[in-house]
């Protein structure tokens, strides 16, 4: 684990009403949330995408640092898992260990990616925790993403994490519950739709994600959540319009809007079932004015605070 990031930022005054996130990080022996960075480009490289997401964890931390604290909260920064060269599988296993350890310590992990290969590490950590500690619980995955990420490949990539998760579930005779929100028809081949249907995945197209449809979408999401006990939520930032998320490997031609995403996340959070949360595909090298890192920090802020 790498612990090189220094939390610092603006200080407006004394007292709790002036606090910002950088002032509450690592100030308690027991924390409500655990930040875990995942510095990896290897999955994107294998998937022939544009590199740069390995720089995301500290870029997101920098945007989180000055955000205000509106309620008593404790956050621990566990550090960053770094993918050493091409050793992606090893990095995913290390991330899984950190996620599982955080859950055992009754913290909610928030993972800062990194290519979307982060998802298999995050999921594996929750899966291991459930297998070892609560084997009767059912896990559901909700992926905000323009892509299914159900590709078949010889090795794990940023395009395979949910097929990898399905295979892991099958190996342990567990049901696979997967909801993908924001699927773009023009960004997924016919075989990916066939794979999603074969695995009984639920999906919602990007063009359906309109403000006028929010209540119906929330109802569909709640139906999915009702079938599981715990949730792993992953937000691939390429699900958003390129105007607010330019710093991703595959910028969206259409994308979804925060006016739809925000109430969906709020409704999911309200269920109390989220155990692991991550953001993925933030690419600071391709960003404009840190828009995408700021978006990632904004999403995490809304997840943490009521």
pLDDT in tens, 264-274: 999 999 999 99
pLDDT of 29 above 90 = no
Round the CA-based radius of gyration of the chain to a whole number and report it: 18
Q: Where are the alpha helices (DSSP H) in 106-239?
A: 118-133, 161-171, 190-198, 214-225
191 found inside a domain = yes
Q: Which of 116, 102, 111, 9 is nearest to 62 (CA)?
A: 9
- pLDDT, tens digit (0-9, with 9 covering 90-100), for 104-141: 999 999 999 999 999 999 999 999 999 999 999 999 99
Domain that holds residue 254: 16-304
The DSSP call for residue 46 is H
| Overall number of domains in the chain | 1
With respect to residue 3, please indicate whether it lies within any of the assigned structural domains.
no
Domain-located, residue 185: yes
pLDDT at res. 180: 98
Tokens 């790498």 appear where?
2
- pTM here? 0.97
Please report whether residue 242 resides in a domain: yes
Residue 249 lies in a domain: yes
Give the helix/strand (H/E) hosting 302.
Answer: helix 291-304
Mean pLDDT of 12-29: 93
Burial class (CB in 10 A: 0-12, 13-18, 19+), 171: exposed
Residue 6 placed within a domain: no
The alpha carbon of 123 is separated from its chain's Cα centroid by a whole number of angstroms, namely 10
Q: Which residues are annotated as a binding site for Mn(2+)?
A: 116, 145, 147, 149, 236, 238
CATH of the domain at 63: 3.40.800.10
The tens digit of pLDDT for each residue in 53-83 reads: 999 999 999 999 999 999 999 999 999 999 9
Binding-site positions: 116, 145, 147, 149, 236, 238
Residue 64 falls within a domain, yes or no?
Answer: yes
How far apart are alpha carbons 257 and 28 in whole angstroms? 36
Q: What is the DSSP letter of 173?
A: T
CA distance 104 to 154: 33
261 is a domain residue = yes
């Amino acid at each position: 684990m790498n612990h090189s990031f220094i939390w610092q930022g603006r200080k407006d005054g004394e007292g709790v009403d002036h606090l910002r996130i950088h002032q509450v990080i690592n100030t308690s022996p027991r924390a409500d949330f655990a930040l875990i960075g995942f510095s990896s480009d290897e999955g994107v490289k294998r998937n022939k995408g544009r590199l740069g997401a390995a720089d995301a964890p500290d870029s997101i931390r920098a945007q989180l640092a000055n955000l205000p604290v509106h309620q008593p909260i404790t956050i621990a920064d566990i550090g960053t898992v770094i993918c050493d060269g091409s050793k992606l599988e090893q990095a995913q296993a290390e991330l899984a260990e950190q996620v599982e350890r955080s859950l055992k310590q009754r913290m909610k992990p928030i993972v800062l990616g990194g290519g979307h290969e982060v998802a298999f590490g995050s999921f594996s950590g929750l899966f291991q925790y459930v297998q070892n500690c609560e084997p009767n619980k059912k896990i559901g995955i909700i992926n905000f993403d323009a892509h299914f990420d159900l590709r078949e490949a010889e090795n794990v990539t940023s395009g395979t994490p949910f097929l990898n998760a399905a295979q892991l579930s099958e190996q342990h005779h567990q049901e696979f519950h997967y909801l993908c929100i924001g699927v773009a028809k023009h960004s997924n081949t016919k075989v990916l739709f066939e794979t999603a249907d074969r695995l009984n995945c639920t999906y919602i197209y990007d063009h359906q994600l309109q403000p006028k449809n929010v209540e119906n979408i929330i109802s569909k999401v709640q139906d999915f959540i009702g079938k599981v006990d715990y949730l792993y939520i992953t937000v691939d930032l390429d699900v958003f319009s390129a105007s607010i998320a330019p710093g991703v490997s595959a910028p969206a031609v259409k994308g979804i809007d925060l006016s739809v995403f925000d109430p969906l996340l709020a409704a999911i959070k309200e269920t109390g079932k989220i155990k692991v949360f991550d953001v993925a595909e933030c690419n600071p090298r391709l960003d404009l004015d840190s828009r995408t890192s700021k978006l990632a920090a904004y999403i995490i802020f809304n997840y943490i605070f009521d």
